[in-house]
Chains A and B, each alone.
Chain A
Amino acid sequence: MPKKKAPRKPKLAVWKFASCDGCQLSLLDCEDELLAIADAIDIAYFPEATRAVVRGPYDVSLVEGSITTSHDAERIHKIRRASKHLVTIGACATAGGIQALRNFQNVNEFISLVYAQPQYIETLKVSTPISYHVFVDYELHGCPINKVQLVEVLNAFLNNRRPVIPSHSVCVECKRQGTVCVMVAHGTPCLGPVTHAGCGALCPAYNRGCYGCYGPNDSPNTTSLADRFEHLGLDHAGIARSFRTFNANAAAFRHESEAHEHNI
């Protein structure tokens, strides 16, 4: 009787664009799960972890980072063509990242200020998320992403089901944990009510307001929250700044910061 061939393991690739590597490292940080992951998937391209390269096509591509150069804008199309599923991970890939702060200014001014030899720098005027360029099957938010959620997304794609990643506010996590609301009890401005859950309401648990690392939630009423911030003593510059961090270019946060910038 002919021996049955072992079923082919799904192939995973991890790609990097403009980013800090923090999200990819979340995958390496999955110590407990890493063996199971390696068992279930063929990690075919992951320069951060291995030199071995397996050519595409890939079943799942994880993409970290934003598009900031014309070369990258082409490269992402090649990756899309070589990938069955493309999942973007982190604030850079899903919203443009902290480097999207350039989108609000003239990038040439930054370049001449930052680099000694600006003539060697070639960059786009704006930093954009991957979804501006190619179709994305799933976006996993966070700066950095939560490793448990990353495993859940991989798991869901491996098992052909929807990832269980709630898109409600951070407040839900805060209240389930029993954390005392820093905005109500301390008057600390907190982005939790408009921010996508996922971090486990880490900052409020340490008496800090939420910084919005996971970007806007599924129905962010940023205008009402900004009114509250004003009531708590923030001026327009302060409000604009609070919405302008890792997810500055995410539509809801961008619109809110721009609305206040014009009032400064």
Chain B
Amino acid sequence: MEASAQQEEKPVAVEGGLRTGMINATEMQRLIDVLRKEGYQVLGPLLRDGAIVYDEVEAAGDLPAGWMDEQEGGVYHLKRRDDDALFGFAVGPHSWKRYLFPPMRRLWQAERKGKGKFRVIPEEETPQRRAFLGVRACELAAIAIQDRIFMQGPYVDPVYAARRQNTVIVAVNCGHAAATCFCASMDTGPQVRQGFDLALTEIVDAERHVFLVETGTETGAALLAKLEARPATNDDLAEARRIVERTAESMQRSLDTTDVHDLLLGNLDHPRWDEVADRCLACTNCTMVCPTCFCSTVEDLTDLSGKTAERVQLWDSCFSMQYSYIHGGSVRMSGMARYRQWLTHKLASWIDQFGTSGCVGCGRCITWCPVGIDLTEEVRAIRATAPPAPALEDESEY
């Protein structure tokens, strides 16, 4: 009974739902309404304090229509576009990580129960259904990396997993790359390939402002079915692909990943590490903005009477001195050791650990580094002057 009633509700009765469709830009409001009506908190891009950040979007009017960004090492500026594109910018200071792996989270509380006894009160989290609107290809790749980190293997982070399960992803193909983007060379974008429920490509020119909508899951197909869509023609599809190709071609930065694992791990004493450390502030910004960095610390707090205690998890960074503190002192005292730890983990030992690079080429660490340190430049410098690397032994011997 119920199932058939639901079916009747759907205006388009294609089996499995529509796979592609074209919608007018004005349908964005309906998409947001539909998601909100189904209990999703819609998170998306909006203008705040001179940047495009991610936060709750209640209406299509919240989206940064007609704005784009200009990015360089240590520099981010907003600029007016000459059209009203809703997604005509690249990635900003926030990433979706803040919603799946929040910067601060209480893990549990404890209460003293008489002498020498205490009761642990686990943190109950009712997962909020969330829709991420405007997820880029590099960000999908980053989410896939964090999925492996938090959900693969014997130790699954239940809170991450629950949040992940309750997330709907509306991806966007990039029509504009910032000067700091290098996803093409990392093979993660700008075309979205997987990991989305819906994928949009924005087509905006003198004649029309429309979106090609592609579906990746049944959830996505059900959403598309609720929008006022017309079938996409081959011309529509071709134009959408052309837009993304143009974006890829316009990309100014690249990272040559050939043998980067052995290149970095085979040059741990390269003088370039000292040079970059002279500039590096060890401020942690690069790791905080990185959509794949996953390090955290825990802080244990007690109340004055010693009756209650709690453990809080917080984002941490390999750039902080306390991060490598063990009894007696920090392992990585120098800024050099910390920068080297970051880059070798990100691009080399990450591969040993998770079978993929830790970098998706989003460029955030370049833009949001206050002194504009650029990992692509660092790798290039090491590659240019590295003595021919002795082949590294098999990892199993480490």
Contact = CB atoms under 8 A, between A and B. Distances in A.
A161 B299 CA distance: 12
Contacts of B285: 171, 175, 181, 193
B370 A193 contact: yes
A158 B284 contact: no
Nearest to B306: A159
B321 interface: yes
Interface string B343-359: 00000000000000000
Nearest to B300: A164
B50 interface: yes
Interface stretch (A16-24, A31-39, A45-53, A131-139): A31-39
A192 B288 CA distance: 14
B180 to A, nearest CB: 11
Contacts of A39: 304-305
A112 interface: no
A227 B320 CA distance: 21
A175 B103 contact: yes
Contacts of B305: 36, 39-40
Interface stretch (B8-16, B203-211, B241-249, B275-283): B275-283
A183 interface: yes
Given A175-B284, A219-B335, A228 B302 contact: no
B289 to A, nearest CB: 7
A73 interface: no
Nearest to B103: A176
B257 interface: no
Given A33-B304, A158-B304, A172 B320 contact: yes
A264 interface: no
Contacts of A36: 303-305
A247 to B, nearest CB: 17
Contacts of B125: none
Interface residues of A, number: 44
Interface stretch (A58-66, A148-156, A248-256): A148-156
Contacts of B301: 152, 164
A178 B97 CA distance: 11
Interface string B257-279: 00000000000000000000011
A72 interface: no
Contacts of B370: 171, 181, 183-184, 190, 193, 225, 228
B300 A224 contact: no
B321 A172 contact: no
Interface in B65-94: 74-77, 93-94
A36 B304 CA distance: 6
A245 B315 CA distance: 30
Given A37-B304, A169-B281, A178 B368 contact: no
B288 A171 contact: yes
Contacts of A40: 304-305
Contacts of A37: 304
Contacts of A159: 302, 306
A167 interface: yes
A151 to B, nearest CB: 7
Contacts of B278: 221, 223-224
Nearest to A168: B320
Interface of A: 33, 36-37, 39-40, 151-152, 154-155, 158-159, 161, 164, 166-169, 171-172, 175-181, 183-187, 190, 192-194, 207, 218-219, 221, 223-225, 227-228
Given A181-B285, A224-B281, 11 more contacts: A168-B321, A171-B288, A175-B103, A178-B93, A178-B94, A185-B50, A186-B50, A219-B335, A221-B279, A223-B278, A224-B280
18 contacts: A33-B304, A36-B305, A37-B304, A39-B304, A40-B304, A155-B303, A155-B304, A158-B304, A159-B302, A171-B284, A183-B74, A185-B76, A186-B50, A218-B321, A221-B335, A224-B278, A224-B371, A227-B279
